[in-house]
Chain A
Amino acid sequence: MKTLLCIREREYGWAQEAFPAIHPLLLPLCNKPFVEFLIDFAILTGSTAIRLLCDGPLAEVERYCEDGRRWGIDLSFGSLQPDDSVPVLLGKNRRFCGDERIMVVSGFNFIRYDKRQEYARLIDGAPDGPFASCGDGGIILAGAPGTGTAAPDEAGISLIPLDSTASYYEASMETLESGAERYVLPGYGGEPGCAIGRNVVISKSVEIRKPVSIGDNVQLLGGTIIGPSAIIGSDVIIDKESSVSSSIVLDHTYLGENLEVSGRIASGNLLIEPQSGASIAMEDPHLLSGIRQDPVLAAFPRLLIHALVALLMIGLLLPPFLLLWPLLSLSGKWKPCPAEIIDGKGNGTIRLKTVSLPHHGALGTLAAALSLDRFLMLFRVLGGQLALIGSTPVSAEERGDSNATAMTAYRPGVFSYAEAEEWPGCGKSEDASIVERFHLAHSNPVTDIALFFKAYINRIQEKITA
């Protein structure tokens, strides 16, 4: 038996919006990533190999799961198209499937199962076709049944579609209530309904009311009350005299003093009401905040090198700018057109003073060839708002566009990586974003500078030959 796990971006889009810092497949349910529940279920059904198929990025999931050796199975990854049917998926993975029986689990659904059941026998004997369904997804079996006994009724399998914060909250709470009797859950506990991870510091005056699940590296300071029905993630601090009940506190969250959280999901500095999905972003870091490494610090070498080269370019381009700008302005060829673009964090905007520079006439061509229309943008590199070379800036008006907002890597630059490459010349922004993502993932500050000069020279050639 082998399993194909098929999950589409459209099914988990809500989770990306609600919890942008977590890959939806790694979204924890009772402190266990969602994908692990699927893997556990596949193993219970007797699968020796699992392939995870998705039309979105899987790198983070792959880093977490690796090759499946941890579970004693062979785990591989692949892609699918959003509209691929089950027969197409079986065809696309023919080498993986071989002659074995295949279980296709599709959709972003939580599978209610019981680890004490003998699913291997039940699934083996079940006929070809749908085994359980839920909305657009479900469990489908392909291939001739084996010698096992088929009795789907006794399987006790049902699916909960995870399609909102409400269903996520309910599934988490249900898993917590069912506890380790039904599912394989992380943490240690001397008694049922209480699971505690590693490196958890609990002050003497802390009160714990079952059921609770507490992750790793957690500090519960004096006077806090945890539970009933509280899920505390990893790397969490709950400060003095606070209480958490019927709530989920996701990883990397700090909860301030004297705070009462009930029936909510806390993630970083966000407090989410599960039923409506409404969220409040706390501005006060003493009340609620995220505990993560500052990304600016990690990007410091790149920021520094980009700023130094930008400074050099400002020095080189200042004389021609001071000479050509007044002349072009007087002749009406220098047309400022302010633009608002999405910033590198994806949640704010940057106002830019861009210039429309028709490159006809000797002066216009010279100014365009020297990229003087982008001269003022170089100052934004000094401030770290723009990279010297990066992604093509996405206009704020395109914020709602899935291509723009779903970018896994976006770093607006004065020049773009696509300009550095003759790539592939179709003029499609979708294609340009492919090469930009390639370089965002593979480049370092030194290659960035080489690519910047390449883009600059390409632009000179382009403007002169235009």
Chain B
Amino acid sequence: MIITETTQNGISVVTLNGTLDALSCPEFRANPAVGDPGQTVVLDLEKVDFIDSSGLGSIVGAARKKRQQECDLFLACMNDKVRKVFEITNAQKLFHIFDDTGAAVEFAAMQQEACK
């Protein structure tokens, strides 16, 4: 799993490349932006080729922690494989999902502004 982190409009964009499963979850959780509950993050999932229940759990867990601090985790650019996992499990209901990272960043910045 390759994790890249950039910042746009004060929002961290974390791009995942590879498989998000039980093996790579600790690495994902250890990412500073993902692990920091006070940081709003846009997660770019375009290059995630597989996600299992542990990966899903890491994303849900990170989002829950962030929401406790009035921050959030937004999902962007899901490919069909990942989207189907979110849909089957009904996890899609927990997230705002965008097909474009830029739009997700704009929305996240707006939400963050509204919270202040």
B97 in contact with A92 (CB, 8 Å):
yes
- Tell me the chain B residues, 72-95 only, with Cβ under 8 Å from chain A: 77, 83-94
- State which of A58, A94, A428, A435 has its C-beta within 8 Å of the C-beta of B89: A435
A435 in contact with B57 (CB, 8 Å):
yes
Contacts of B83 in A (CB 8 A): 77-79
Compute how far the CA of A18 lies from the CA of B82 in the bound complex, rounded to whole angstroms.
Answer: 32
Per-residue CB proximity of B17-57 to A under 8 Å, as 1/0?
A: 00000000000000000000000000000000000111011
A57 in contact with B96 (CB, 8 Å):
no
Contacts of A428 in B (CB 8 A): 64
A424 in contact with B58 (CB, 8 Å):
yes
B87 in contact with A57 (CB, 8 Å):
yes
Contacts of A422 in B (CB 8 A): 57
Compute how far the CA of A25 lies from the CA of B106 in the bound complex, rounded to whole angstroms.
Answer: 32
Contacts of A426 in B (CB 8 A): 60-61, 64
A438 CB within 8 Å of chain B: yes
Per-residue CB proximity of A95-106 to B under 8 Å, as 1/0?
A: 110000000000
A423 and B53 contact, Cβ closer than 8 Å, known pairs A92-B96, A96-B99: yes
Per-residue CB proximity of A427-452 to B under 8 Å, as 1/0?
A: 01011011101110100000000000
Q: How many residues of B contact A (CB 8 A)?
A: 31
A79 in contact with B90 (CB, 8 Å):
no
A424 and B57 contact, Cβ closer than 8 Å, known pairs A59-B87, A79-B87, A435-B89: yes
Compute how far the CA of A366 lies from the CA of B94 in the bound complex, rounded to whole angstroms.
Answer: 38
B87 in contact with A423 (CB, 8 Å):
no
Main secondary structure of the interface of B (DSSP, over half): helix
B97 in contact with A423 (CB, 8 Å):
no
Contacts of B64 in A (CB 8 A): 424, 426, 428, 431
A91 in contact with B103 (CB, 8 Å):
yes
A438 in contact with B97 (CB, 8 Å):
no
For the complex formed, measure the closest distance between the CB of A26 and the CB atoms of chain B, giving whole angstroms.
16
For the complex formed, measure the closest distance between the CB of B76 and the CB atoms of chain A, giving whole angstroms.
9
B99 in contact with A95 (CB, 8 Å):
yes
Contacts of B93 in A (CB 8 A): 55, 79, 81
A421 and B102 contact, Cβ closer than 8 Å, known pairs A57-B87, A57-B88, A78-B83: no
A94 in contact with B97 (CB, 8 Å):
no
Per-residue CB proximity of B93-116 to A under 8 Å, as 1/0?
A: 110111110110011000000000
Contacts of A439 in B (CB 8 A): 53
B102 in contact with A94 (CB, 8 Å):
yes
Contacts of B100 in A (CB 8 A): 94-95
A438 in contact with B87 (CB, 8 Å):
no
Compute how far the CA of A331 lies from the CA of B89 in the bound complex, rounded to whole angstroms.
Answer: 43
Compute how far the CA of A222 lies from the CA of B10 in the bound complex, rounded to whole angstroms.
Answer: 74
Contacts of B107 in A (CB 8 A): 88, 91-92
B88 in contact with A425 (CB, 8 Å):
no
A217 CB within 8 Å of chain B: no
Compute how far the CA of A94 lies from the CA of B97 in the bound complex, rounded to whole angstroms.
Answer: 11
Per-residue CB proximity of A79-115 to B under 8 Å, as 1/0?
A: 1010000001001111110000000000000000000
A461 CB within 8 Å of chain B: no
A423 in contact with B54 (CB, 8 Å):
yes
- State which of B60, B102, B103 has its C-beta within 8 Å of the C-beta of A434: B60
Q: List 8 A-B contacts (CB under 8 A).
A: A79-B83, A92-B98, A408-B90, A417-B53, A434-B57, A435-B53, A437-B88, A438-B56
> With contacts A434-B60, A435-B57, A438-B56 known, what are 11 further pairs, Cβ within 8 A?
A55-B92, A55-B93, A59-B84, A79-B87, A92-B98, A95-B100, A422-B57, A424-B57, A430-B94, A431-B64, A438-B85
The chain A residues found within 8 Å of chain B, CB to CB, are 55, 57-59, 77-79, 81, 88, 91-96, 408-409, 417, 421-426, 428, 430-431, 433-435, 437-439, 441
The chain B residues found within 8 Å of chain A, CB to CB, are 52-54, 56-58, 60-61, 64, 77, 83-94, 96-100, 102-103, 106-107
Of all A-B residue pairs in the complex, the 6 with the closest CB atoms, nearest first, are A424-B61, A423-B57, A94-B103, A79-B92, A94-B100, A95-B100
